[in-house]
Amino acid sequence: MNRNPHIGESFESFLRDEGIYDEVTATAIKRTIALQIAHEMTTQKISKSEMARRMKTSATQLARLLDPQNDRVQLDTLVKAASAVGKNLAVSLV
């Protein structure tokens, strides 16, 4: 009987075993927020130049925020972006 030793193991425990749980989680959270901001921009018909103006930042900084490969975004930048689309950013420890 061939049994896969990984069956039953959670993905979370796998990531922890590999030592990459925190990194993967941070990237997933950042990507999710960036997608939500991009969705709000589309829904509200906010151009990238208008969004950058509302955030009082450059188009380059906005591009970094919206880039799913860039996981190095500061919390204050995320707060500004949320505010620029009329939303609040909520962060909590669970």
Domain limits of the chain? 11-84
Q: Give residues with Cβ within 8 angstroms of 18, minimum separation 6.
A: none
- Mention every residue, 6+ apart, whose C-beta is less than 8 A from residue 75: 89, 91
Best CA proximity match to 57, nearest among 45, 73, 68, 71: 73
Residues 6+ away with beta carbon under 8 Å from 65: 34, 37, 73, 77, 78, 81
Instruction: Say yes or no to pLDDT of 6 above 80.
Output: no
Looking at domain 11-84, its CATH class is: mainly alpha
pTM comes to: 0.81
- pLDDT tens sequence across 37-59: 999 999 999 999 999 999 999 99
Whether the predicted pLDDT of 79 surpasses 80: yes
Q: Which residues contact 87 (CB under 8 A, 6 or more apart)?
A: 40
